[in-house]
Structures are given as structure tokens and as C-alpha cells.
A and B are shown apart, each in its own frame.
Chain A
Amino acid sequence: MEDLLIKIEKRNDVPTTLYFLTPFIAIILTIVGGGIIFYTLGFNPIEALKFYFITPISNLYGFSELLLKATPLCLIAIGLSFCFKSNNWNIGAEGQLTFGAIVGGGVALLFYNQEGFYILPLIIIAGAIGGMIFALIPAILKTYFNTNEILVSLMLVYVSKLILDYLVVGPWSNPEGFNFPETRQFSDSARMPLLFESLRIHAGIFIALAAVLVGWFVLYKTYLGFQIKVSGLSLKTAKYAGFKGKTMILIVFMISGACAGLAGVGEITGPIGQLHRMISPDYGFTAIIVAFLGRLNPFGIIFASLVVSLTYLGAETAQIFLQIPQYTGQVFQGMILFFLLASDYLLFFKIKFLNLKKNELGH
């Protein structure tokens, strides 16, 4: 009789090219997996995938929608990469986005009947500060009370959504809005300038691009970035080198929260133009996938945000043309993460199968 023993060993050196190639492998596997799912649902897989990944961006409007949805994803993921690189697991970006939108939206509502060039910058700053404050809650609890930031940041998402709910139904609801759960429309001065007539793509994309450049610079060219990198690799070393661990946790959460808050403001001052219950189709959660698919590298994140944005668009087209629910978008996002994690596992570990002869003394 033979026992099969599976042994998992860490690989000592992982080639950098392969490290950046695996996200592509994951995407290809996701497309194949999606094809299989469409086939079992009774669709022609090639045609269905075409509706999903090609049709949405086959015209200018579709392309602008792709950039529109990639903007918040990219912005949030850049912020998250600061947290994740330093081993701080902020998964409450959705809450920070919502709270940023609440604070920014509040400022916009203050000026609902006024015009002025200063209004939009005020809103943007307010949104960033809102997200930052909301991210500071898990950060402070983690540094001073040893709580788990995963749980706290996640639970705060629901807190912020309920605050938003209360505001749009109650005190902030539009007095002329027939009791619909939404606020007044923001004034024109409170809206992001559109880049092109009749397309929804707006100036928020420049904020995202600026975040990419600043993110790259801070992570790779500054002392703060160096400390983030070392802490992420070995907390013991960070302590030995004398880095101020607590301050750093607060800083990365603030950066992350500010980015999420900016994304929230971008949505409400961009395509939405008011506050209501559904300001984000879970951009804050999906951005976690974007951050990892982009390898926590700012430029990788640009690419990843476009890919994941396409799954949002594809889901909408598929709903129209194939009559399948929009939620298939989440299936695709889930598959991307699953295949990425699986290929990473094979990248970092090797699996050995050992055949062992059973010992004759065993009985």
C-alpha cells in the first residue's frame, strides 16, 4: 500500500517577469471560465463573451463609460495599495467613499443655489477630508486599542451607508422631491466639468491620474514609501530599524481614506449630481481586486482598473442582450480574484507529491 503525501514548499526566488505576467494569466483563465459558464447556461460562449468584453467598448460612448467607471476604481486602489503594502488590511474603502461623498455632498448642498469657481474645489477637499476621517477610525482603534482593522473597517461600511440613508430620506431630502430618497440637484458650479459634449467622462479622471503619479513617487522615491515597504515585508525589521509604526499606520489609512473620499466626490459631482442611496456599485470593495490585480503597483493599477471596469460594462450589456442578471459582473470580478490568488499560490509555492511506502511495522 502506498500513502500519497503532498508537500508544499515555498519557492525561493520568483522571477519578476512571471510575477507581473500572472495577472494576465488570471484574466485569460477568467475569460475561459466565463465562457464555460455561458456555455452551461445555454449560450454560445464566443458570442456571449463578445457581448461581454467587446460590444461595450466598440463605440466612443462605451469607451468613455469604461474610463468613467475605471476612474473611482483606480483612485481607490491607489489608496489601498498604501495600506496593503504595509500590511494594513483596510477593506472598508466603500465606507470611506460613502462618508467622503456625504461630507462633500453636504458642502455641495450648502451652495445648492449659488455659483462660483471656489465651490467645486471646496467640495473636493471636503470629500477627501471626510474619507480621511472615516479611515482614521479603524486606524486609531488599531494603533491604540489593538482592534482588528479588517473587522472595524468592514463594519463601518454599513454605518456610513445607514448615515447616508438617513440623510437622504430625512434632513437632506429634496423638499420638492415628492419624498423620493434623494437630495436636491447640485448647482452647476458643484459639478465636475465634462471633458466632451454628450459623453459622461469628467475631470475626475485627472485626479485619478495625478493619484497614480503621486502614489508612484511616494511609494518608490520617498522615505515614507521605504518605511511602508519594509513594514510590509517584516514588522520585526521595521521595529528594529526604529520606524514609528503607529504614525505610519495612521498615515496609510489617511491616504487610503482620502483617495476613497475623492472617488466618492467624483461620483456625486460627476455622473450623479446629487446624493441618493445608490452612489456606488461597490466600487470600494471591487477596488480591492483592482489593487491586487495591479500588483499594488500604481501603473499596474491603471491597467487593472480598466479590466475590472469592463466587467461592470459587460454585465450591463449582457443584461440587455442576453437577459442575464447584471450580477454576473460580480461573478467575473470574483473569478478574476480567484484565479489571481490561485496562480499566485502556484507562483510562490511548489507542490511536491511524494510516494511513501507504508511501514511494515505499522500494525
Chain B
Amino acid sequence: MATDLRISNISKIYPGCIANDNVSLQFKSGKIYALLGENGAGKSTLVKILSGVISPDNGEVFLNEKNLKLSSPLDAKKNKIGMVFQHFNLFETLSVFENLSIDATEDNKSLRVRINEILKKYNFNIDLDVPVLNLSAGQKQKVEIIRCLLRSPKVLIMDEPTSVLTEQETEELFISLKKFCDEGILIIYITHKLKEVLSLCDEVAVMRKGKVVSVSQTQNEKVETLANKMVGQKLAKIKKKINISKNKDEIFKVKHLNFYSDDPFETNLVNLNFSVKKGECLGIAGISGNGQNELFQILSGEIITPNTSIIFRNKEIAKLNPKQRREYLMAFSPEDRISQAAVPELKIYENVALNNFKSSNFFEKGLVNEGKIKEHSKKILSDFSVNTDNVELKSQFLSGGNLQKLILGRELITAPELLICYNPTWGLDVGAINYIHETLIKINDQEKSTILISTDTEELLKLSDRIAVIYKGKLSKIMPSDEVTPEKLGILMGGGSID
């Protein structure tokens, strides 16, 4: 029986951000659909609504013209909507069979027969009695897929399924997905990888900033056209005066940055080399998960990599920890402002004391100098127009924008020569974004340098003097930002090449 899934006028609003804005889409079985978009475009929200994890503020979902009430993941299961998330929901120490039998309704004997049938039919090679922790990422994903198949799903949603797979495993996955599709399962494939869309999917819906901006047949699309739609043409309104001067000193220089991790959810970095000049903003673009996290932590000193050379103001700092790097006038603003850059349970002045540089005298002879910290915090609150003057307030009561202002203020009040920030405006409202953008431009005007790692191409084009793209842990060549267009960035971010 043919399956027809229709999403009608779905909206979901979070404080300060519209995750889904009146989204309507229609899917029919027999085809593989791609849902394409940058991070934060609203794909995940839509998928979570379809799988019952969150409920929409508005709008309806119809399966074969029946209106579905999806108020819990259980409802999605009952309605035969299967979902394979990017991060697996498996018990590592239990065997494959035990994992599959947890939510099964039948007895073990007939379940085993059915699982074996599926294994045979799709040519999956998995030993049911080994613990899941011994499986490769691709095999774990197959276990998740089998779990869905056991419920004979009508709809199968795959969320960024290839992010942890090898090339070989990706190919195998595509073969299986095509088989499922031929058997009449409707497949929705969520991704930001353009090449995968073109090689696997029949139809593609592109989302941007919570809206569906295009629905088209993949055969009519190319990497460039999709990149264009995904990134958007809109150019920044206020653009910084680009500031490239060849004879300025290089203040920061990275050579042979390599990073290898055993964790499949981390990205390896391969031989990054770049430098930053005085008063310059170097933008590093890329879709998240391509190594930005690792790069930020290495630049800040949270991760020390062997054989890397980092020269800052003519000194080798590659072996120094973040605190020592701060003494050389570097400053860092990480992406995760809630649980890394600040601690929500701490008071504002305690969070300020996290940036304990020598001349601050926050801690004299090992003792807390509360008066000094508070005085300093007050100055930050007023200089960076944070919406409170109470330094005793726990920082969990600050809004995202005010918290980010506090963090930037804390980092900038030392007048650092180099600020490294990662997605500084992520999740903020327009007012706060503008404030932070102006602040970052001001830093460059004062002949101080910045490295801006961001997944927001608009922001990068607005603030950077030169831009490079990071893709799968490799850095593209660095381009002057007046030669860069959103299309070019889009292609590089999707793994394509320009020239």
C-alpha cells in the first residue's frame, strides 16, 4: 500500500528563534526525499516533531490522510514512523539481540527468527550475540535500522546518518536505503551533504532559517544550485571595511596542526597551517562537525597536540594551557556559553573570576580578593551594557545575549591582542547579534586581531577580512573575503571545489 505523509503549516517557536515557520511538505512512498539545510535551519526540529519528541505550536501531520497526534515517541512508533538518530540509542554492554528485544512485544524465539530473516534479506552481516560495544559505527547503525524494520515501518527517517560512517559503510547504507525504498518504505533523509543528496535522493527540500525555500527534483539540481539555496543569497547589510594590507606583521601563526582522536564523534584535523595579521579578522567557515570544536580547543590550549607549532607574538605557545596563553594576551569565547564559557550556578562575579589573569589581582597570594573581582565585574557589566548591575546574580538568570556580552566583556577587558571566538552569536536575537558584531568590528579597528570560527556564513562575510573553509578536518586555501561569495563558500562547505 502506498504511503503518503503530509506536513501542513507546522510552526515551532523557541524563545528568540523561530525553528519552523509554517512548514508544509508532502512525501510519497517509492521515493527517497532529502531534507537539506545548514545547522539551525530547522531540519532537526521538524524531524523531532515527526518522531514525537517535541510537539509543534501549530500545524498538523497527516499519514494517508489521517491526522496524527504525535505527542510522544511512542505515538510515532505506533504509527509506523521509524527514526534513526545521529547518535545511537543502544546499550553498549548488552548484546545486539538483547538491545533489539528490549521493546519487542513478541517472545525471543520468534523475534530471533524475524531478525534473522531481515539480516538475510538485506545482506546485513551482524553477530546477534556480541555486545554492541564491539560493533563498528556502521554496524551499530544497522542495529538501529533493524529495530525500525522489526516494526514494519511505513516511514523511515534518517538523521545525518553518514556523519560517523566510512566511505564503504556509506555505500552499503545507500544500497540498503534504495532497497527499502523499492519495497514501499517512504524514506526521509536529513543531511547537509550536497553530494549525498545528488547521488541518493529523488526529491530535495531545502530549508533555511526555519522555512522551506525550495522543493525540487534532484535530477534538475547541481552542487552549486543546491549550495546557493541552502546558504541564501542575502548579503550582509553592514559590511566591515575590508582590511588587507600585505606588509602588516603576522601576530599568530599555526604550523602543522594535526589532531587524531579515537572518538568516532570527533573529527580528525589534518595538517592545518594559517596565520593572522595584526588588526585582521580571519574567518573560518564550515558546517558544524567538520572539526571546528577540535580546532577551537587546540587554539585555546584545552587540547595540546604534539608536533604542532603555534607562534603568538614571536613566542612558541603550543605547549601552554589556556590560563598561560591568556597571560600572553589571548582571549577565548567558546561556542558553548552555557556550560563551558560560564557556569550557570555561579554568580556573575565568580564567572568573571574564571579569567584570572595575573595583573587582575583577583587572587592575591592564593586568597580570593572578592572586592577586586566585584569591582571589575561591575565595570564589565556597564562597559558591555549587560542588562543588570547585580554582580551577585547567578548567571543562569541572564538571557543568552546578556550572558554572551558578559563573556565577551570578561575576555576583552584584558585588551587581548587576539580573540578567538566560536559561533559567538549562536541562538541570540537580532539586537544582541548586532551588538556583538559591532564589538568584534571595533576590536579590529583598534588593531587587535580576531579568529572567527562560525557556521553562519552571513556573519563571516560581514566580519572577516580573509576566509577559509574547514571541511572534514581540512582547511581550504585562505581567500580575501571580497573575492568570496556565499555560493563559493557553500560549495567548499559541502566538500566541493572551486577554481
By a beta-carbon cutoff of 8 Å, the part of chain A in contact with chain B is 3, 5, 12-13, 220-226, 229-230, 233-234, 236-237, 239-244, 356-357, 359, 361-363
Contacts and interface: CB of A to CB of B under 8 A. Distances in A.
Given A242-B323, A242-B326, A362-B78, A236 B69 contact: no
Contacts of A230: 343, 346, 350, 354
Query: Secondary structure at chain A's binding surface: helix, strand, loop or mixed?
Result: helix
Contacts of B366: 222-224
Given A13-B396, A223-B367, A240 B302 contact: yes
B340 interface: yes
B449 interface: no
User: Which 4 residue pairs of A and B lie closest in terms of their CB atoms, listed nearest first?
Assistant: A242-B323, A242-B322, A223-B363, A362-B78
Given A222-B368, A226-B363, A239 B302 contact: yes
A359 B69 contact: yes
B311 to A, nearest CB: 19
B9 interface: no
B234 interface: no
Given A223-B367, A241-B355, 7 more contacts: A226-B350, A233-B343, A237-B340, A237-B343, A237-B354, A242-B301, A359-B75
Nearest to A234: B343
Contacts of A244: 321
Contacts of A222: 363, 366-368
Given A226-B368, A242-B323, A234 B68 contact: no
B345 interface: yes
24 contacts: A13-B394, A222-B367, A223-B356, A223-B363, A223-B366, A223-B368, A224-B366, A225-B368, A226-B363, A226-B368, A234-B339, A237-B339, A237-B342, A240-B302, A240-B322, A241-B323, A241-B354, A241-B355, A242-B322, A242-B323, A242-B326, A359-B68, A362-B78, A362-B79
Contacts of A362: 75, 78-79
B139 interface: no
B24 interface: no
Query: Secondary structure at chain B's binding surface: helix, strand, loop or mixed?
Result: mixed
Contacts of A237: 339-343, 354
Contacts of B120: none
Contacts of A234: 339-340, 343
Interface of B: 63, 66, 68-69, 71-72, 74-75, 78-79, 300-302, 321-326, 332, 334, 336, 339-343, 345-346, 350, 353-356, 363, 366-368, 394, 396-397
Contact of B334 (A220, A221, A240, A356): A240
A12 B366 CA distance: 32
Contacts of B354: 230, 237, 240-241
B423 to A, nearest CB: 15
Contacts of B340: 234, 236-237, 240
Contacts of B324: 242
Most chain B beta-carbon contacts within 10 A, residue among A221, A226, A236, A362: A226
B375 to A, nearest CB: 17
Contacts of B323: 241-243
B168 to A, nearest CB: 32
Nearest to A230: B343
Contact of A221 (B66, B346, B368): B368
Nearest to B341: A240
A158 B71 CA distance: 52
Contacts of B346: 229-230, 233
A13 B367 CA distance: 29
A244 B321 CA distance: 9
B66 A361 contact: yes
A242 to B, nearest CB: 3
B61 to A, nearest CB: 11
Contacts of A5: 72
A242 B355 CA distance: 9
Contacts of B72: 5, 356
Contacts of B342: 237
A236 B339 contact: yes
A244 B396 CA distance: 26
A229 B336 CA distance: 20
A241 B68 contact: no
A230 B367 CA distance: 16
Most chain B beta-carbon contacts within 10 A, residue among A225, A242, A243, A359: A242
B321 to A, nearest CB: 4
Contacts of B68: 359, 361
A13 B397 CA distance: 9
Contacts of B71: 356
B79 A359 contact: yes
Contacts of A356: 71-72
Nearest to B332: A240
A13 B393 CA distance: 12
Contacts of A225: 368
A269 to B, nearest CB: 32
A34 B342 CA distance: 44
Contacts of A221: 367-368
